[in-house]
Structure 1
Amino acid sequence: MIRFEDVSVTYDGAALPTVQGVDLDVPEGELVLLVGPSGVGKSTLLGTVSGLVPHFTGGTLRGRVTVAGRDTRTHKPRELADVVGTVGQDPLSHFVTDTVEDELAYGMESLGLAPDVMRRRVEETLDLLGLAGLRDRPIATLSGGQQQRVAIGSVLTPHPRVLVLDEPTSALDPAAAEEVLAVLQRLVHDLGTTVLMAEHRLERVVQYADQVLLLGAPGEPPVLGDPAELMARSPVFPPVVALGRIAGWSPLPLTVRDARRRAGALRERLAGAEPPRETPAEPDTAQAAARRWPRLRKERTATAQDAAAASVERLAVRRGRVEALRRVDLTVVPGETVALMGRNGAGKSTLLSTLVGLLEPTSGTVRVGGAVPHRTAPRQLIRHVGLVPQEPRDLLYADTVAAECTAADHDADAAPGTCRALVDELLPGIADDIHPRDLSEGQRLTLALSIVLTTRPPLLLLDEPTRGLDYAAKTRLVTVLRGLAAEGHAIVLATHDVELAAEIAHRVVILADGEVVADGPTEQIVVSSPSFAPQVTKILAPQEWLTVAQVWRALDAERGESS
């Protein structure tokens, strides 16, 4: 179905090809997962299949890519639209209509399909992706995850023979991600659709892959092969594989079910151990008292309220016809990291927008560092709170990375080079002279995060902060955020990344239909939730382990005692 013949891509001004030496066949009716660190060319390789590379991106494509016999170098994307459906990392750039139903129909209209066929396929897709209740909604009013499902649906309706998906589950909650992946698996198994997918959250997708295409260091040709075999040598791998590596399991498990079957001996070794917890430095006096959140919620003392980095009481917010939040109470204190979780559309982004003053409460009160966000001038508010939005491009206006960093240093009255140092710490290798629009999704997120961190706000808000980040970049992000929390910064992150929440959050707050339905210590909330439990928790239950790092430290301590 797809043939790569000695393919390389070199962008204008680049000293080396982004990808090179790609020589392989992808057969019909298989799901192939592209795996590799950020910046190795996964998105570029996907673009060669859809024709976006080089027709829209520029650069030089050498070699030959054919899809169903069509050469993508001589066929533009519109001439491949009946064969290849593409969803990129940014669903907003994909949309051409205003409402969900119109967007699902647009691609079929372009191909001239009969109205009765279009109607049937729209209904099928609405049901497949759980979008029936959003049929008439304006796309602009949807959450990021809902928009991503619409973008996927819009390329499913024309029934392409090949689907090219770049980070398709990055903005989806765990349940929605499973639904989308189940749909893709049905298309592969029942209809013979060929799927090429790049996804950093391997814990979600690797078990669905028929083959893995591993992209290593720049200059090395990709390797196509069995998922378990390539996971044993891949520089990026999900927690289930990491646990298998430290436990010495062979072959490595790719699913929680397989790992649980082998974990009996490991559970016995860990039975007498207590999962080590991260214990950041305690803020002083009243702040330390406020950190003990269960007592804070019971007593609501004036001292604790004064110490709060953010305080929300009986908050309600309407967005058009939708009651996005209702009766929300939340207190966040210095040094605390809180993960907001819940399905797409639950109100997580709305709550962050209210905390940073982008939305005005319909009722209730919001205070951040003593200020009322929507009544405070932005120049003053950034001294109290900073938001890294789900779409990082909303913060990027300059023509180069260097110019963005210079402006960030100036706005924050920070020493020159402060922002640039943060960029290098989070994701090394981003050039000064590159335009922000030419960065990958993960690189743009890193730049936006560095801009906000330059002001060192007492309250840091992050909306889907690991979208587009590989495991190494996520580890560096965790290190930075832990350091900020230890210094007394309060952090609230809205995330569908259950592994991130398990790694960094002291506390998890779950929203559903605009209301808080759970609020408690991370280990209590995620262990009791099938949807929000990380892989290690599922494998080692009923023991309350959250991360591979916890297991590693416990085994390391055991080895130390026995030596």
Structure 2
Amino acid sequence: MTTSLRDVSFKYLRETDDNIPADTGVSNLTIDFSPGSCTLITGSSGSGKSTVLKLLNGLIPELYEGDLSGRTLLGGLDTASTDIQRLGQTAGMVFQNPRSQFFTANVLEELAFASENAGEAPETTAQYVAAAINTWGIRPLMNRSLQGLSGGESQLVACAAAMVGPQKILLLDEPTSNLSPAAIDLFTAVLQRLKTAGWTLIVAEHRVYPLNKITDWTVIMREGRITYQLRGDEFFAIPEMKRRELGLRTLTKPQPQLRHAASEMVAPAVTAPGVEVRNLRFSYGKRQVLGIEELCLAAGSVVALTGPNGAGKTTLARTLVGLAKPQKNTEIKFQGKVCDCAERQKRSALVMQDVNRQLFAETVAQEVSLGNGEMPREQIEALLEELGLKGLEQRHPMTLSGGQKQRLVIANAVASDAQLYVFDEPTSGVDYGHLMSISSLIRRLAGRGKSVLVISHDLEFINEVADRHLQLEPFDKVGYDQIQDLSVNHRTPGGKTRDI
């Protein structure tokens, strides 16, 4: 059954003041998605990748008002004239922010929701759900609440839910953005199995290397238009210089190689000790999540923290900045002073994994200065230009693409005068050029004597930005102490040696 776009153009219409332009959308797109094939759609942030998926799943024109021309077919169905519920049984969709598509309270209910809502027989729904659980290896999550999942776990659950039903088409928007390296390996293996089983896969991604050997065709987009359509092998053979010129992320799996030498870790002018942690323990009810004997985030340094999905990285971030209260006897010092939760909040800036929770202002320009006092217009404009947001000053923040929202929250954090900066997956949904600009901004924060913690699975980014690379292991696997230093040969208390 045909899935394709034929000379499709779409321009978003927005109920805004006349002086705020509508999105360009996409123009003159013609793409064929062969049954059983994998198509990668990549390009700069805001280039129209997500719009292509919204066209295919029928959200355009069902939910998004705009000027639409051309014809879009999904499994032989005209998306403009077909009921959206029927389209939902033709293709599964995983959004850029998977939490935005959850409807229930726990994992098992979420997996069954769409099939039950479509009126499938209970035994049929049970078969679909069992297949999805086994395919994505998420059985340990079955009794978990959706609210308690990490970002990576949420993505895996959303991927599983998208294949529950009779559909054989899967639409994925930045599906690896929050996944650990182990989860990416699982993701890649699952996609290969689905493709072998006849599924049609359409993936919008910046982090493209996991799709090597799977992709049949690659579509490169810029400003709503197609700039290249290449066979998969042609795309992954693009020379390095051309790859950078096109603004694409690495085409090969990155290897650990920190650019910043240990001698650069602390700026010579910095004498403050930064942020020091002793005996940090944190539990959710009876389940202990964190047990960290010692952690130092030196002033003037950028420390990268990795670890498996669900290890407690985001919980550590929330504890450090004062949004979560650790158990008694935990000691957290800022520049030599023990600080309680309220004091840590005053001295910290956090960029969350889900940046939608941090957007409050009515315009992009107002968002940059929110909570940062009076800022000169020139300073706001310079920050926005550096992060690729120039020209969007009067747009509402919630109308931006996922990558643009990410960079806007980063701009707000950078504009503050905090002592500790914590960035939780700051490069999810960003292209190569913006990865480099974010790295540059974070390095400048360190140069100003700030302590910076970057929580990320993105090794390409870590290699560019970090002085040290630490790993957080799940507490239930290693107990006290969870932190391992992967920057150098390091012998942990348990006697393990890691060399990365």
TM above 0.5, one fold?
yes
Bigger helix fraction: 1
How big is each residue's C-alpha offset from its partner over 1:208-236, in whole Å with a ceiling of 9 and x where there is no partner?
211111113x3643543212423526513
Aligned residue number for residue 376 of structure 1: 342
Cα distance in structure 1, aligned partners of 2:356 and 2:298: 29
Q: Output the aligned Cα RMSD.
A: 2.6
Task: Indicate the larger mover: 478-487 or 351-360.
Answer: 478-487
Shift of 1:414: 4.0
Alignment of 1:470-549 (within 5 A): 470-514=431-475, 516-520=481-485, 522=487, 524=489
Bigger strand fraction: 2
Task: Indicate the larger mover: 91-100 or 390-399.
Answer: 390-399
**Partner of residue 221 from structure 1, selected from 203, 223, 226:** 226
Q: Structure 1 118/416 Cα, relative in aligned 2: closer, same or farther at 3 Å?
A: same
* Contact 1:408-1:419 at 8 Å conserved across structures: no
Aligned residue number for residue 548 of structure 1: none
Cα distance in structure 2, aligned partners of 1:278 and 1:519: 17
Aligned residue number for residue 290 of structure 2: 325
* Contact 1:33-1:212 at 8 Å conserved across structures: yes
Aligned residue number for residue 341 of structure 1: 306
Greater RCO, 1 or 2 (C-alpha within 8 Å, sep 6+):
2
Q: Structure 1 91/425 Cα, relative in aligned 2: closer, same or farther at 3 Å?
A: same
Aligned residue number for residue 211 of structure 2: 205
Amino acid at match of 1:331: C
Aligned residue number for residue 75 of structure 1: 82
Shift of 1:518: 5.0
Aligned residue number for residue 431 of structure 1: 392
TM-score (norm 1): 0.78
Amino acid at match of 1:157: V
**Partner of residue 354 from structure 1, selected from 307, 314, 319:** 319
How big is each residue's C-alpha offset from its partner over 1:125-157, in whole Å with a ceiling of 9 and x where there is no partner?
223323211211111011111111111111111
**Partner of residue 267 from structure 2, selected from 283, 286, 292:** 283
Alignment of 1:171-320 (within 5 A): 171-190=178-197, 192-216=198-222, 218=223, 220-231=225-236, 232=238, 235-239=246-250, 241=251, 277=261, 280=264, 282-284=266-268, 287=271, 307-320=272-285
* Contact 1:101-1:136 at 8 Å conserved across structures: yes
Shift of 1:395: 1.5
Aligned residue number for residue 556 of structure 1: none
Shift of 1:35: 1.2
Is the counterpart of residue 42 in structure 1 residue 49 in structure 2? Answer: yes
Q: How many residues align?
A: 473
Shift of 1:420: 3.8
Shift of 1:521: 5.8
Cα distance in structure 1, aligned partners of 2:259 and 2:305: 23
Cα distance in structure 1, aligned partners of 2:137 and 2:338: 37
Aligned residue number for residue 495 of structure 2: none
* Contact 1:33-1:206 at 8 Å conserved across structures: no
Shift of 1:15: 6.3
Aligned residue number for residue 417 of structure 2: 456
Is the counterpart of residue 395 in structure 1 residue 358 in structure 2? Answer: yes
* Contact 1:21-1:222 at 8 Å conserved across structures: no
Amino acid at match of 1:283: A
Cα distance in structure 2, aligned partners of 1:441 and 1:362: 35
**Partner of residue 135 from structure 2, selected from 108, 128, 136:** 128
* Contact 1:409-1:417 at 8 Å conserved across structures: no
Shift of 1:458: 2.0
Shift of 1:255: 6.8
Which residues of structure 1 form unaligned runs of 5+? Answer: 242-253, 260-273, 288-306, 526-532, 534-541, 545-563
* Contact 2:419-2:450 at 8 Å conserved across structures: yes
Where 1:160 maps in the other structure, the secondary structure is: coil
Cα distance in structure 2, aligned partners of 1:345 and 1:324: 9
Task: Indicate the larger mover: 154-163 or 473-482.
Answer: 154-163
Cα distance in structure 2, aligned partners of 1:464 and 1:61: 35
Task: Indicate the larger mover: 311-320 or 342-351.
Answer: 311-320
Percent identity for Structure 1 against Structure 2: 31
Shift of 1:361: 0.5
Amino acid at match of 1:198: A
Cα distance in structure 2, aligned partners of 1:484 and 1:275: 17
Q: Structure 1 523/202 Cα, relative in aligned 2: closer, same or farther at 3 Å?
A: farther
**Partner of residue 466 from structure 1, selected from 419, 427, 435:** 427
Amino acid at match of 2:70: G
Where 1:221 maps in the other structure, the secondary structure is: strand
Aligned residue number for residue 166 of structure 1: 173
Where 1:48 maps in the other structure, the secondary structure is: helix
How big is each residue's C-alpha offset from its partner over 1:299-332, in whole Å with a ceiling of 9 and x where there is no partner?
xxxxxxxx32211111111123431112342011
Where 1:522 maps in the other structure, the secondary structure is: coil
**Partner of residue 368 from structure 2, selected from 376, 401, 405:** 405
Amino acid at match of 1:230: F
